[in-house]
A and B are shown apart, each in its own frame.
Chain A
C-alpha cells in the first residue's frame, strides 16, 4: 500500500538513464515502485483512501536536487542564516539535500561541531543538511583537522572554503589523510598573494572604478598546483565555484589523466559578467569575482563536454548592512538556493547547452557521488531507495523577488528577473515538506 503517489509526470532518473512518463509510488519514506503507464491511468489496486496523490502531469519528477555548496552560518552568525532557515530555503528552491560549509564561528573543525550540525539538521526537518568539515584546524591552514574523527561523525567532505588551503606541505598531508578516509577535498582556488585587497575581476572595469583587480590566474594556478600535488596521492579533489575559462583546460587535463578531480560552477558565473559591478553595485561582488562573456562561454562549454560535472550555488546569505556599504568593504556573495533552478534552466537549457536529463544529472547524482551520498541512495530515484523527490514545472513563469525568499539573506542581483521553471513540490523521505501547488495535491 502506498502512502503517496505522484501521477503522470515525466520521471527522469539520470543515474540509470530513466526518462519516461510514470507513476511513482511511495511507502514508508521509500520509493516503492515506479510504474510506467502504457495504457493510461495508474492501477486502482495501488490506491487506498489514505493515499495522497500529487498530479504531476506536465511536470518533471526528478530525484531530489542536491547542492554541495551552501553557507548556513550556524553556529554564531545566525542573524544571517540558520540551519532551520537555510534548509527551509533549500526546500523552497527544490533542494532535498545540501552540504554546508564550515566557515562559521567557531568553524566546523571537530567531531563535536560536525555532530552539532547533524543534530540541527535532524531537528530542522527541512532539506537534509550534511556538514563539510574544515580541512585544517581553525581554517588557519597550518595543521590538518582531525579528519578521521570528523568523518566518523558525519563530515561528507573537507574544505577551508572562504579561504584556500594555500600551503603545499599542509595540503599534501590533508590529501593523504583524505585518501585514507575516502572523503573529498573541496578547494576554494584563490592564491591569496595575488588577491590582496582585490574585490572584482582584474580588467578595464576595475581599472575604471579604481578597484583592485582579482586576476584569473589566482584561481588557475592554485588549481594547477593542486592537481600536480595530488598526482602521486590520489585523493578525491573537487574545485569549487570555478569562474575562469582558463581553469577549464587545467581541469580537463587532470580528468583526461584519470585523476579523481571534479569541478563545479555557480549560477552567477554563468549569467553575469564583471559589468554588473559597474556603478559599484555591491550585489555583484562575488568571490571568486564575476568575469567576462568569454569565461561564461568557456564554462558552458566545459559543462556541455562533461569537464565541469556539478552545478552548485555557493548560497551565501548576508544582512543588508553587509552590502549597503562601499564596494571594497562590502561582503562577497549571493543567496542561491531559491533561484538556482530557473537560473540554470536559463543558462543551460534555454541556451541548448544541456537537455533536462543532463541538467538533472549535474544537480543530483553527480554531486551525490562527489559527496559520497549516493551510497545512501541520494541523487537517484530507484525502487527501494529513499523517496527524496523534486517535482518541477518546467514552464512555470515567475519573477524572482528577494522579499519572498525564505532565506534570511536578501543579497541577490537576480532580484526582479523574469524566469521560467520552478519546483512545485519538494519531498524528503516520502514527506511533502514543501508544496507550491495545492490544487495538484490531493489528500
Chain B
C-alpha cells in the first residue's frame, strides 16, 4: 500500500520541514494515516523493512521520541539498535560526527538522531551515506513532531489551509514551534505565536514562506478567540535561572480552565509533552477528552515515524 503513494519523494534525509512542499507534507501524513490501524494493533505489524537496521542515536535525553521511533521501526519489521548517550564526552559536534561514522561502519540502514546543537543533523547528514532522520536538533527543528501535529490537526479539522493555530510558550527555544511554523504556513494555515516578548521575537514573522502567515503577539486572551488549535509548549524550567520565564508566566500564558472555557467548541488543545501540569496547562484542560488530543498526538507520532522510515529507507 505504501508503494503506490511513494511518488514525489526523492530526499535522502529528513532534516527539517522547511523547504518541503505541500505535496511532500501531505504525502507523508497520508502514508502515516494508513498505518494507524497497525499502531493501534488492529492490524498485524508490517514487513516493509524486514531485515533493515535502524540506529537510534540520541545525544540528548529523550524517552518518548526515542521510544516512538523504536516502535515505528519494529512495526515495519526493522531491527533497532540504541546508541543513546548523554554524557559530556559527546557534547562537541565533531564527536557527534565520529559517532555517526562509527555507527554507519557497523552497517545500519538509517540513523535517527537527536543532539543539542542546532544543525547537528545537517552536520551528520553531510558526513554519512545512510539516510538521517532528525529527531530534534537544538532549537532548530523537530520535523516528525511537526508532521504528527499536522496529521492530528487534519484528523479533527480537515484541510488546515486558512485555519488559525495558536502556539504558546517559549517559542525562541522551541524546535517544535519552528517545525510547526514551516509545515503549517506551507499548507496555508495562519500561525499565531504567543509568548513573553523575551521568548518570541518579531523575526519569527519572516522565517516562513508559503501561503500561510505568522503573527507574533503577546496577548493570549486575544488570540484565544479565533483559535482552531491551541498548542501549548513545555516551559523549560531549567531556563528560569536566566530570568527569561517571568514570575507571572502561568497567569499570562498558561492554558487555565478559565481560558479553555472561552475557546470555540470545536477547538482542539495540543501539547508535545511532557507537560508541566499546573504551569503551562491545567490538568482539567489536559485531561478534557472533548478537546485535548494529547494522547492522540502520541499515537500519530508512531504512524508518522513509520511513514518517514518507509520513505527514506530504500527497499532491498
Residue interface bits B146-166, CB-to-A below 8 A is 1, else 0? 000000000000000000000
Cβ-defined contact, B94 with A210, below 8 A: no
C-alpha gap A326/B141 in the complex (Å)? 15
User: Which one of B23-31, B118-126, B224-232, B256-264 is at the A interface?
Assistant: B118-126
Known: A210-B178, A280-B123. A326 touches B96 (CB 8 A): yes
Measured between beta carbons, the chain A residues less than 8 angstroms from B85 are none
C-alpha gap A208/B118 in the complex (Å)? 10
With both chains docked as a complex, state the minimum distance between the C-beta of A324 and any C-beta of chain B, in angstroms: 7
Residues of A357-411 contacting chain B, CB below 8 A: none
Residue interface bits A329-354, CB-to-B below 8 A is 1, else 0? 11000000000000000000000000
Most chain A beta carbons < 10 A, residue from B117, B119, B120, B141: B119
Q: Does A209 contact B (CB under 8 A)?
A: yes
Q: Does B97 contact A (CB under 8 A)?
A: yes
User: Which one of B39-47, B104-112, B200-208 is at the A interface?
Assistant: B200-208
Q: Does B139 contact A (CB under 8 A)?
A: yes
Measured between beta carbons, the chain A residues less than 8 angstroms from B119 are 209-211, 280, 326-328
Q: Does B93 contact A (CB under 8 A)?
A: yes
Cβ-defined contact, A327 with B117, below 8 A: yes
Cβ-defined contact, A209 with B118, below 8 A: yes
With both chains docked as a complex, state the minimum distance between the C-beta of A293 and any C-beta of chain B, in angstroms: 15
Known: A204-B206, A321-B94, A324-B97. A210 touches B139 (CB 8 A): yes
Measured between beta carbons, the chain B residues less than 8 angstroms from A209 are 118-119, 140
With both beta carbons as reference points, the residue of chain B lying nearest to A211 in the complex is identified as B118
Cβ-defined contact, A325 with B94, below 8 A: yes
Cβ-defined contact, A329 with B117, below 8 A: yes
Contact size range, B = 20 to 34
Q: Does B175 contact A (CB under 8 A)?
A: yes
Q: Does A260 contact B (CB under 8 A)?
A: no
Cβ-defined contact, B122 with A279, below 8 A: yes
Cβ-defined contact, A210 with B93, below 8 A: no
Residue tally, chain A, CB below 8 Å to B: 19
Cβ-defined contact, A203 with B203, below 8 A: yes
C-alpha gap A208/B17 in the complex (Å)? 11
Q: Does B77 contact A (CB under 8 A)?
A: no
Measured between beta carbons, the chain A residues less than 8 angstroms from B92 are 325, 329
With both chains docked as a complex, state the minimum distance between the C-beta of A291 and any C-beta of chain B, in angstroms: 14
Cβ-defined contact, A325 with B93, below 8 A: yes
Cβ-defined contact, B118 with A210, below 8 A: yes
With both chains docked as a complex, state the minimum distance between the C-beta of A205 and any C-beta of chain B, in angstroms: 8
C-alpha gap A330/B118 in the complex (Å)? 12
C-alpha gap A330/B120 in the complex (Å)? 12
Residues of A175-222 contacting chain B, CB below 8 A: 202-204, 206-211
Q: Does B217 contact A (CB under 8 A)?
A: no
Cβ-defined contact, B117 with A208, below 8 A: no
C-alpha gap A279/B141 in the complex (Å)? 13
Task: List the count of A-B residue pairs having beta carbons below 8 Å apart.
Answer: 63
C-alpha gap A328/B97 in the complex (Å)? 15
Measured between beta carbons, the chain A residues less than 8 angstroms from B204 are 207
With both chains docked as a complex, state the minimum distance between the C-beta of A208 and any C-beta of chain B, in angstroms: 4
Q: Does B272 contact A (CB under 8 A)?
A: no
Cβ-defined contact, A207 with B122, below 8 A: no
Residues of B10-57 contacting chain A, CB below 8 A: 18
Cβ-defined contact, B122 with A330, below 8 A: no
C-alpha gap A204/B202 in the complex (Å)? 9
A210 touches which one: B97, B123, B175 (CB < 8 A)? B175
Residue interface bits B75-109, CB-to-A below 8 A is 1, else 0? 00000000000000000111011000000000000
C-alpha gap A288/B76 in the complex (Å)? 49
Measured between beta carbons, the chain A residues less than 8 angstroms from B97 are 324-325
With both beta carbons as reference points, the residue of chain B lying nearest to A325 in the complex is identified as B93
C-alpha gap A209/B178 in the complex (Å)? 9
Q: Does B138 contact A (CB under 8 A)?
A: yes
Cβ-defined contact, A280 with B122, below 8 A: yes
Cβ-defined contact, B117 with A204, below 8 A: no
Residues of A301-338 contacting chain B, CB below 8 A: 321, 324-330
Residues of A201-252 contacting chain B, CB below 8 A: 202-204, 206-211
With both chains docked as a complex, state the minimum distance between the C-beta of B88 and any C-beta of chain A, in angstroms: 14
B residues at A contact (CB < 8 Å): 18, 92-94, 96-97, 115, 117-120, 122-123, 137-141, 172, 175, 178, 201, 203-204, 206-207
**A/B interface sample: 19 pairs, CB < 8 A:** A202-B203, A204-B206, A207-B203, A209-B140, A210-B140, A210-B141, A210-B175, A211-B139, A324-B97, A325-B92, A326-B115, A326-B117, A326-B118, A326-B119, A326-B120, A327-B117, A327-B118, A328-B118, A328-B119
A residues at B contact (CB < 8 Å): 202-204, 206-211, 279-280, 321, 324-330
